[in-house]
Each structure stands twice: as C-alpha cells, then as structure tokens.
C-alpha cells in the first residue's frame, strides 16, 4: 500500500523554548498515527504514538506524542545507542531511497544521526557537533500509572546537504522503539514486511510531498 504524507510549509521559524509560539506553530498541522506493528507476533506491545511534521525554508519540525508503560532514559551523549531508551525516529531519503539519514532521539533529547545506504555496516554516524545542531524540547507526565511524553525536534535542513523546496518529494518513515525497555517494541508509520525487526529498510519508506 502506498502511503503519501503532505508536509505543510510555514512562513517563519520558531524557538522551541517559546511554548506559545510552538503551540501556534503546530496548531494547523495534521496528526498522523504510528499504528503499524510489523513484528507484532514477537513484540506485541503497542504504545500510543502520533506525530506531526512541518517545514520552513530552513528547518523541518517534528512533534511526537507518546503514551507508554515505562520510560527509559540512559544515554546522554550524541551518537550513543538511544534506540535502547524510549526513542522516536525519523528516516528520510532525498535520492529515491538510495541513501538516507536516520534521526533518532530519546526522551532526554539525546540524538543519534547517521547517513548512507541500507547496509548498516557501511553507514556513518555524523559528527557529534552536527547532531547537537538539532534543537529539542521534551516534556513528561505520569498519567493513570503510565507515562506520556512529547518530543519536538527542529532539524536544520543544512544537515541534509540538499535544498528542500515546495513541490519536492522525499521518502521517509517514522518510528517508535525501545529495545532496552521491559517490553521492547517497534512501531512505524509505514508498514515494513520483514521477518525480524529492522528499521533500515528504505524500500518500505512512504512518500513525503513538501508543500
């Protein structure tokens, strides 16, 4: 099934520390469910996850909202294994799935970014100083015995080394994982047909159209 998501364009950038500005920024953006659980037979736990995406001339904005049983937040340095924590991810290809960037951030805002093709051993992690150019904002609540958290990412387009303008098409997927949690889980926006958990499969990316 082909999944297409239109990325709304906004006219100005926002500071993540300005809550009023951020709420206004995302007020008109559509919510998208992260409802696919590709390896449900092995990993049946499904947190409630949804996300929004916007872009400006200079940045890509993402907001994730997560409800799950537990939160793990161990890693504090760029390019550590944040996927073992409570983690949200964004993979994007600008060259028809030949190569792609993966942006992975835990609930603390600690990030991991790498670039290359689908062969994991050949991918390279970006310099930590580049990872730290992504602005993050997170907030956590305890709700009915579980956890609810929000993560906002503000990604400079210059990290992608390619101009993205209105009308451009990219290929992407959005993920939630927690390899090191009491109940490991793997959710995606666009479904993945694979026998074992592996998000590094650009053949299953959905389509993004930048408005």
pLDDT by residue (tens digit) across 120-160? Answer: 889 999 999 999 999 999 999 998 999 999 999 999 999 99
Model confidence, pTM: 0.96
82 CB-side CA count, 13 A: 23
Per-residue pLDDT of the chain (211 residues; tens, 9 = 90+): 568 999 999 998 888 888 888 888 899 999 999 999 999 999 999 999 999 999 999 999 999 999 999 999 999 999 999 999 999 999 999 999 999 999 999 999 999 999 999 998 899 999 999 999 999 999 999 989 999 999 999 999 999 999 999 999 999 999 999 999 999 999 999 999 999 999 999 999 999 999 9
Helices and strands, counts by H and E, the chain: 2, 13
Structural class in CATH, domain 4-210: mainly beta
pLDDT by residue (tens digit) across 123-132? Answer: 999 999 999 9
Per-residue model confidence (pLDDT) at position 1: 57
Find, among 116, 117, 109, the residue nearest to 140 by Cα: 109
CA distance 38 to 43: 9
Beta strand 206-210 with 4-9: parallel, antiparallel or unpaired? Answer: parallel
Hey, is 36 helix, strand or coil? strand
Burial classification of residue 203, based on how many CB atoms lie within 10 Å of its CB (0-12 exposed, 13-18 middle, 19 or more buried): exposed
CA distance 159 to 133: 8
Q: The dihedral of CA 10, 12, 14, 18: what is its sign?
A: negative
């Amino acid at each position: 099934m082909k999944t297409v998501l239109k990325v709304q364009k906004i006219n100005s950038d926002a500071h993540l520390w300005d809550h009023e500005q951020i709420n206004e920024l995302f007020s008109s953006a559509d919510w998208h469910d992260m409802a696919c659980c590709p390896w449900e037979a092995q990993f049946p736990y499904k947190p409630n996850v949804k996300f929004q995406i916007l872009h400006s001339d200079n940045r890509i904005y993402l907001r994730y909202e997560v409800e799950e049983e537990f939160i793990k937040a161990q890693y504090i340095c760029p390019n550590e294994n944040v996927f073992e924590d409570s983690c949200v991810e964004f993979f994007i290809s600008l060259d028809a799935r030949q190569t792609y960037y993966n942006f992975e951030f835990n609930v603390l805002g600690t990030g991991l970014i790498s670039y290359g093709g689908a062969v994991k051993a050949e991918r390279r992690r970006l310099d930590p100083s580049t990872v730290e150019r992504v602005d993050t904002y997170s907030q956590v609540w305890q709700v009915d015995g579980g956890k609810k958290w929000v993560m906002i990412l503000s990604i400079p387009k210059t990290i992608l080394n390619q101009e993205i303008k209105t009308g451009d098409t990219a290929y992407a997927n959005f993920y939630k994982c927690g390899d090191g949690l009491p109940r490991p889980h793997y959710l995606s926006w666009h479904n993945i047909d694979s026998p074992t958990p592996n998000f590094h499969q650009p053949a299953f990316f959905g389509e993004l159209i930048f408005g």
